[in-house]
């Protein structure tokens, strides 16, 4: 996990070996290279303000990505988390507005997390009970959850979100005014990402459950023969991804001061790409928290900062696609070797 320690280079060849064992080093290299290129072309990138923007933009994507990481590590995939997030953020906002509009942030937080957990458990239950590929199941639940939200709950944007969410969204950790008079701030919500990252790291690296998740991702028959309760692992990873979707959705609405039921769905492949660029394999059994966070920074940087260096917006998608291909190319070389 020690991100800060440089790779141990014993011979010229072991750089490649280090990459094989620690794919997140490649992600780190890509992040640093991209930051250097962007910063050299446009020094604005190196200001604290743009750093804060980057961290702010990474908060919600990062929370989602850590949930996806657990599912990928257990050998599954989840594309329904954006629909779960949209469902949780909108339903929670409506519910709180109608029942207890003055409640503190903890109430909507608990409701949203609860909804997310239930929907995630539903995914896990179907995947395990019917031995169905999780891609297919979560495509189905994505349609169901989003369709239910838009057909039965509502389609109107809610601008006046509840007091507690509003205050949480505006609450800053650091705040200062730059020489140009622009205000830069880092929202407290960023601490939630830090907390979730620490929790996820603890689960994956310090608990038996973490070992079980990697084992199931490596091979289900072997995991079963080792006596690992595969059913519980599935329920846990999908439940955790759903819970984090609920959390991320609510944070998203609070930060934007808006509950939009059409939000988020459609960005799931970006999040999955971030996790994969962080070194988790789609085939399961691998992936680290540090790598995932680096992958998130990489994707957010590509999405937000290319405009800073004058890549015309029409060419942005080509560049993003090329970077994803480049990075996955290196990771697949690792697999072939």
Burial 259-289, CB ≥16 within 10 A → b, else e: bbbebbbebbebbbbbbbbbbbbbebbbbbb
- The nearer residue to other proteins, 186 or 223, going by C-beta atoms, is 223
137 binds other proteins (CB under 8 A): yes
Q: Residue 171 CB, nearest distance to other proteins (Å)? A: 34
Contact segment (CB under 8 A) with other proteins among 20-28, 166-174, 195-203, 316-324 equals 316-324
* Of residues 282, 220, 297, 332, the one with CA closest to residue 71: 282
Contact set for other proteins, span 234-263 (CB under 8 A): 234
- 238 in Cβ contact with 120 (< 8 Å): yes
157 binds other proteins (CB under 8 A): no
Contact segment (CB under 8 A) with other proteins among 22-30, 48-56, 59-67, 139-147 equals 139-147
- The nearer residue to other proteins, 6 or 225, going by C-beta atoms, is 225
The three state secondary structure string of 46-72 is HCHHHHHHHHHHHHHHHHHHHHHHHHH
Binding-site string for other proteins from residue 185 to residue 224, where x marks contact by CB under 8 A and - marks none: -------------------------------xx-xxx--x
* Of residues 67, 60, 1, the one with CA closest to residue 193: 60
Q: Residue 87 CB, nearest distance to other proteins (Å)? A: 12
Kindly tell me which residue out of 276, 289, 301, 306 binds other proteins, with binding defined by CB under 8 A: 276
Q: Residue 127 CB, nearest distance to other proteins (Å)? A: 5
- 202 in Cβ contact with 88 (< 8 Å): no
74 binds other proteins (CB under 8 A): yes
112 binds other proteins (CB under 8 A): no
Query: What would the two tokens of residue 28 be?
Result: 């780190």
151 binds other proteins (CB under 8 A): yes
* Of residues 236, 287, 262, 227, the one with CA closest to residue 66: 287
* Of residues 334, 317, 297, 332, the one with CA closest to residue 38: 297
317 binds other proteins (CB under 8 A): yes
Q: Residue 318 CB, nearest distance to other proteins (Å)? A: 3
Residue indicated by tokens 């503190």: 104
The number of residues making up the chain comes to 337
Q: Residue 299 CB, nearest distance to other proteins (Å)? A: 11
User: Rounded CA gap, 134 and 132, in Å?
Assistant: 6
- The nearer residue to other proteins, 123 or 254, going by C-beta atoms, is 123
- 246 in Cβ contact with 88 (< 8 Å): yes
Binding site for other proteins (CB under 8 A): 74-77, 79, 126-127, 130-137, 139-151, 155, 216-217, 219-221, 224, 230, 234, 266, 269, 272-273, 276, 281-284, 314-322, 324-325, 328-329, 332-333, 335-336
């Amino acid at each position: 996990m020690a991100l800060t320690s440089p790779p141990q280079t014993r011979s010229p060849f072991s750089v490649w070996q280090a990459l094989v064992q620690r794919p997140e080093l490649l992600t780190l290299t890509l992040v640093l290279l991209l930051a250097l290129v962007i910063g050299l072309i446009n020094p604005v990138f190196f200001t604290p303000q743009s750093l804060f923007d980057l961290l702010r933009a990474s908060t919600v994507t990062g929370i989602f990505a850590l949930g996806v990481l657990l599912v990928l590590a257990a050998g599954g995939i989840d594309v329904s988390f954006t629909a779960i997030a949209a469902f949780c953020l909108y339903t929670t906002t409506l519910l709180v507005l109608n029942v207890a509009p003055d409640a503190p942030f903890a109430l909507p937080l608990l409701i949203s997390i609860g909804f997310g957990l239930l929907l995630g458990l539903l995914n896990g239950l179907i995947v395990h009970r019917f031995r169905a590929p999780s891609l297919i199941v979560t495509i189905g639940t994505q349609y169901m959850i989003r369709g239910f939200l838009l057909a039965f709950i509502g389609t109107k944007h809610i601008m006046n979100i509840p007091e507690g969410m509003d205050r949480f969204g505006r609450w800053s950790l650091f705040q200062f005014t730059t020489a140009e008079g622009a205000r830069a701030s880092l929202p407290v919500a960023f601490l939630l990402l830090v907390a979730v990252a620490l929790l996820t790291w603890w689960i994956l690296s310090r608990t038996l459950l973490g070992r079980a998740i990697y084992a199931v991702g490596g091979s289900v028959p072997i995991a079963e023969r080792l006596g690992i309760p595969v059913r519980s692992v599935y329920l846990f990873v999908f439940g955790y991804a759903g819970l984090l979707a609920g959390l991320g959705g609510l944070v998203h609405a609070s930060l934007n001061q808006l509950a939009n039921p059409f939000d988020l769905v459609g960005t799931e492949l970006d999040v999955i790409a971030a996790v994969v660029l962080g070194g988790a394999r789609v085939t399961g059994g691998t992936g680290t928290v540090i790598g995932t966070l680096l992958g998130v920074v990489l994707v957010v940087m590509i999405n937000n900062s290319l405009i800073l260096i004058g890549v015309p917006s029409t060419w942005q998608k080509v560049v993003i696609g090329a970077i994803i291909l480049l990075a996955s190319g290196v990771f697949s070389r690792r697999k072939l070797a």
